[in-house]
C-alpha cells in the first residue's frame, strides 16, 4: 500500500514503494561510488587545500580504517568525533563504518560538562578531536577531564572520569602528550591490507548500529539516538533522489557534519549519487560559503533559513557566480516567503526544497519536490518520503481527519534502532506498533502536504539548533546558589527563538544575570546559554506543581516590550 494522499480522508499517508530500499552498508556504498566514479571529484575542502577524487577518498578512508584497526578499534566499539567540518571528520565517518565501529557525533560547541556525559553515556573507546574551534580549546578541556594524559602511553589511557576511553586521536601538526596524531594513525594503516578490511566488511549487516547522535530530551540529559546503515544509507539516497541528484552535481555543505543534515543528507547523500561535496570551512561563514559556491560551480546548497538570509545580505553578494546553482535544501526552521523569493530569484535556486525530520528518523520524513509550487514550499514541509508512513493523532490516540492538528507519528525503515542503552526512553518514544512519536504538532492537508504547527512540549528552536529546557534546567541546578530554575523560549527575529531563564536564588545569594551566564559559558554549548535571565521570588505553577511556561513566556515578552 502506498498513498501520498490521506487515506480515507484521515491524516494518514504512506510513501511510495516503487523505488526499492537500498541494501548496502556504508562501506559498500562508498566502494560502489569509488568504482563507478573513481576519477570524479568527491570532496573539496578549500580551507585545508584538499581536493580528492572518489578513488582518493576511498584510499584515504582505508588508511584511517586500517590505522584504527591497528590501535585496537573493533566492530561495535564506539568512536567519538569532536570537531568542526574538516576532512578528518569525513574520513572518520567512513573509516569507522569500514571496520564496523559506531561513530558517535559530538557537538563542536560542547563543553566539559556535556563532553564527559556523552563519552561516558555510550562508552567511547576512542575519540578523534580537533585541537580547537572558535572559543573552544578541545585539548585543554580533555586535559582537564583526563589529567592522566600527561603520563599515559598513547592508546592506553586510563582516566578516572573517562573510564572507557583508551585512545585520543588529535588532528593537527602538534600531538599533545598521551594522545596519538591523526596522520600517525593513518600511516599505521598503510600496513593493513585491504583484504583484511574487506573481510571485516563482509561481516557487517545493514541493520548493525553505525552512528549515535545525541538529541536532548525533555526529561533531562541528552539521549543517544542509535542509527543503522539501513537507516541512513536509505535516507541519504531518497533525500538526494528527491533533489534529482546525479554525479554531475556539486553540493555546497556549510551545515555541520555532526548533524544528520551534514553527514547523512550531505556527505552520505553525495556518495549515494557520486556527486561532489564542497565544504567551505570549519563552520558557517557567508563569505566562505559564497566563494565556494562561485569558485567550485556548485549546483546545490544546504542551509537553515538564517544562513541564506546572511548570504543574501552580503554587500558583495552580486560579485559571486551563482549561475550554476539549481537545487538544495532549506530546513531546521520555517522559511519566510520573502526569503524564499530571494533565494529563487537571486541565487537561481528554482528547485530548492524544504525538508522536515528529526534525528531519530534518520532524519527526513517529509520533503517538497523540486517542482512543487512556491506556496507549498513556504507553507509546508512537503509530502511523505518513500517507504515511510506517517499519521497525525489526537489526544486520545485516534487518527484525526485530514487538515486537523495533532501529534505527528512516523514509522518505517527510517526510525532509529533505539536510544543507546536506554530502553525506558526508547519505549516512551517508539510504541509497540513501531510508531515514533515526534512530539511535533502538525496537519496533513487533502493533497498530503504536511505543515508543522508547533510542539507538543516546549522545545526551543534557536537558529536551527533544537534546545530542550529541562537539560539546561538540570545544569542550572548544579549551581549552589540556584534553588529553582525554569527555562523557556521566546520569539526572536534573528534566531527564531532564544533562551530565557527564570531563577529563584538561595537566600542571600546575590546573583546577577551575568553570574548565571558566566557559570554556563564554559560548561554548556553557547546556543543553550540564556539570553535573558530574571530572578523571581516565585514561579507560576499549576495546582499539581507543573510549571506554567506559557505564563512565563507572556510576562517575559511584556517585560521586554516595556524596556
Q: Is residue 246 part of a domain?
A: no
The tens digit of pLDDT for each residue in 365-389 reads 999 999 999 999 988 999 999 999 9
C-alpha cell read off for 93 = 565517518
C-alpha cell read off for 81 = 568525533
Report how many domains make up the chain: 2
- Cβ atoms 312, 338 nearer than 8 A: no
Other CB atoms within a 10 A radius of the CB of residue 137 amount to 14
Instruction: Name the residue range of residue 479's domain.
Output: 460-562
CA dist., res. 139 & res. 112, Å (int): 11
Cα dihedral 214, 177, 181, 164, rounded to 10, equals -40
Q: What CATH number did the domain enclosing 112 receive?
A: 3.40.50.12780
Residue at a domain's end among 220, 235, 265: 220
Q: Is residue 380 part of a domain?
A: no
Q: Is residue 156 part of a domain?
A: yes
In the chain, what is the straight-line distance between the N-terminal and C-terminal CA atoms, in Å?
57
Residue ranges of alpha helices (H) inside 23-164 are 26-36, 54-70, 87-98, 112-122, 138-145
- Cβ atoms 22, 237 nearer than 8 A: yes
Q: Is residue 335 part of a domain?
A: no
Q: Is residue 277 part of a domain?
A: no
pLDDT in single tens digits along all 563 residues of the chain = 567 899 999 999 999 999 999 999 999 999 999 999 999 999 999 999 999 999 999 999 999 999 999 999 999 999 999 999 999 999 999 999 999 999 999 999 899 999 999 999 999 999 999 999 999 999 999 999 999 999 999 999 999 999 999 999 999 999 999 999 999 999 999 999 999 999 999 999 999 999 999 986 434 578 999 999 999 999 999 999 999 999 999 999 999 999 999 999 999 999 999 999 999 999 999 999 999 999 999 999 999 888 998 999 999 999 999 999 999 999 877 787 888 999 999 999 999 999 999 999 999 999 999 999 999 998 899 999 999 999 999 989 999 999 998 999 999 999 999 999 999 999 999 999 999 999 888 999 999 999 987 667 777 889 988 787 878 988 998 899 998 899 999 999 889 999 999 999 988 899 999 999 999 998 999 999 999 999 999 888 754 455 788 889 999 999 999 87
Residue at a domain's end among 220, 254, 273: 220
Q: What are phi and psi of 43, to 5 degrees?
A: -145, 130
Residues contacting residue 258 through CB under 8 Å, at least 6 positions apart: 81, 105, 106, 107, 108, 213
Judge if the upstream peptide bond of residue 20 is cis by omega within 30 degrees of 0.
no
How many alpha carbons fall within 13 Å on the CB side of residue 244? Answer: 10
CA dist., res. 290 & res. 14, Å (int): 38
The tens digit of pLDDT for each residue in 51-93 reads 999 999 999 999 999 999 999 999 999 999 999 999 999 999 9
Q: What CATH number did the domain enclosing 489 receive?
A: 3.30.300.30
Other CB atoms within a 10 A radius of the CB of residue 193 amount to 10
- Cβ atoms 512, 523 nearer than 8 A: no
Q: Is residue 75 part of a domain?
A: yes
Q: Is residue 542 part of a domain?
A: yes
* pTM listed for this prediction: 0.86
Q: Helix 469-476 vs helix 513-521: angle between axes, to the nearest 10 degrees?
A: 100
Give the DSSP per-residue string, 497-539.
EEEEEEEEEPTT----HHHHHHHHHTTS-GGGS-SEEEE-S--
3-state secondary structure at position 228: strand
Q: What are phi and psi of 91, to 5 degrees?
A: -65, -40
Q: Is residue 178 part of a domain?
A: yes
C-alpha cell read off for 156 = 592506553
Residue at a domain's end among 190, 220, 250: 220
Beta strands (DSSP E) in 394-493 are: 406-412, 418-419, 436-444, 450-455, 460-462, 465-467, 482-492
Residues contacting residue 191 through CB under 8 Å, at least 6 positions apart: 66, 70
CA dist., res. 525 & res. 316, Å (int): 32
Amino acid at each position: 500500500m502506498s498513498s501520498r494522499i490521506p487515506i480515507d480522508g484521515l491524516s494518514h499517508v504512506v510513501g511510495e514503494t516503487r523505488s526499492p530500499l537500498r541494501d548496502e552498508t556504508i562501506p559498500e556504498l562508498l566502494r560502489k561510488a569509488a568504482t563507478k566514479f573513481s576519477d570524479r571529484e568527491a570532496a573539496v575542502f578549500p580551507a585545508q587545500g584538499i581536493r580528492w577524487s572518489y578513488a582518493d577518498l576511498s584510499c584515504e578512508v582505508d588508511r584511517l580504517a586500517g590505522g584504527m584497526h591497528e590501535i585496537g578499534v573493533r566492530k561495535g566499539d564506539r568512536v567519538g568525533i569532536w570537531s568542526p567540518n574538516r576532512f578528518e571528520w569525513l574520513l572518520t565517518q567512513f573509516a569507522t563504518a569500514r571496520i564496523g565501529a559506531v561513530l558517535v557525533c559530538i557537538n563542536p560547541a560542547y563543553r566539559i560538562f556535556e563532553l564527559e556525559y556523552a563519552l561516558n553515556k555510550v562508552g567511547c573507546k576512542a575519540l578523534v578531536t580537533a585541537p580547537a574551534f572558535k572559543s573552544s580549546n578541545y585539548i585543554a578541556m580533555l586535559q582537564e577531564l583526563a589529567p592522566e594524559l600527561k603520563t599515559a602511553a598513547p592508546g592506553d589511557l586510563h582516566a578516572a572520569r573517562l573510564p572507557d576511553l583508551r585512545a585520543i586521536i588529535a588532528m593537527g601538526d602538534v600531538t599533545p602528550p598521551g594522545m596519538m596524531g591523526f596522520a600517525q594513525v593513518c600511516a599505521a594503516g598503510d600496513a593493513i591490507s585491504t583484504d583484511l578490511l574487506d573481510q571485516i566488511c563482509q561481516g557487517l549487516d545493514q541493520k548493525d548500529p553505525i552512528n549515535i547522535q545525541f538529541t536532548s530530551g525533555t526529561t533531562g540529559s541528552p539521549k543517544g539516538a542509535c542509527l543503522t546503515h539501513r537507516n541512513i544509507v536509505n535516507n541519504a539516497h531518497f533525500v538526494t533522489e528527491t533533489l534529482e541528484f546525479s554525479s554531475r552535481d556539486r553540493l555546497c555543505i556549510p551545515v555541520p557534519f555532526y548533524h544528520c543534515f551534514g553527514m547523512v543528507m550531505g556527505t552520505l547523500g553525495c556518495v549515494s549519487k557520486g556527486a561532489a561535496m564542497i565544504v567551505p570551512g570549519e563552520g558557517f561563514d557567508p563569505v566562505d560559503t559564497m566563494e565556494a559556491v562561485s569558485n567550485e560551480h556548485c549546483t546545490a546548497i544546504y542551509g537553515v533559513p538564517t544562513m541564506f538570509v546572511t548570504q543574501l545580505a552580503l554587500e558583495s553578494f552580486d560579485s559571486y557566480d551563482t549561475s550554476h546553482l539549481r537545487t538544495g535544501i532549506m530546513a531546521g526552521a520555517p522559511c519566510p516567503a520573502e526569503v524564499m523569493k530571494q533565494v529563487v530569484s537571486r541565487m537561481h535556486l528554482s528547485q530548492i526544497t524544504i525538508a522536515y525530520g528529526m534525528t531519530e528518523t534518520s532524519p527526513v520524513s517529509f520533503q517538497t519536490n523540486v517542482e512543487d509550487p512556491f506556496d507549498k514550499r513556504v507553507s509546508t514541509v512537503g509530502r511523505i518520503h518513500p517507504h515511510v508512513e506517517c499519521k497525525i493523532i489526537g489526544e486520545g490516540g485516534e487518527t484525526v481527519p485530514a487538515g486537523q492538528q495533532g501529534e505527528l507519528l512516523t514509522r518505517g525503515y527510517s526510525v532509529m534502532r533505539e536510544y543507546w542503552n536506554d530502553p525506558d526512553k526508547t519505549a516512551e518514544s517508539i510504541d509497540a506498533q513501531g510508531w515514533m512519536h515526534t512530539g511535533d504538532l502538525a496537519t496533513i492537508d487533502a493533497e498530503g502536504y504536511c505543515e508543522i504547527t508547533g510542539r507538543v512540549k516546549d522545545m526551543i528552536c534557536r537558529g536551527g539548533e533544537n534546545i530542550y529546557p529541562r537539560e539546561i534546567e538540570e545544569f542550572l541546578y548544579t549551581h549552589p546558589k540556584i534553588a529553582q530554575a525554569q527555562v523557556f523560549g521566546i520569539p526572536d527575529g534573528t534566531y527564531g527563538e532564544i533562551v530565557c531563564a527564570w531563577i529563584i536564588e538561595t537566600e542571600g545569594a546575590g546573583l546577577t544575570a551575568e553570574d548565571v551566564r558566566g557559570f554556563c559559558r564554559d560548561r554548556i554549548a553557547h546556543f543553550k546559554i540564556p539570553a535573558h535571565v530574571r530572578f523571581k521570588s516565585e514561579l507560576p505553577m499549576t495546582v499539581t506543581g507543573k510549571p506554567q511556561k506559557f505564563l512565563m513566556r507572556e510576562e517575559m515578552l511584556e517585560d521586554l516590550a516595556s524596556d
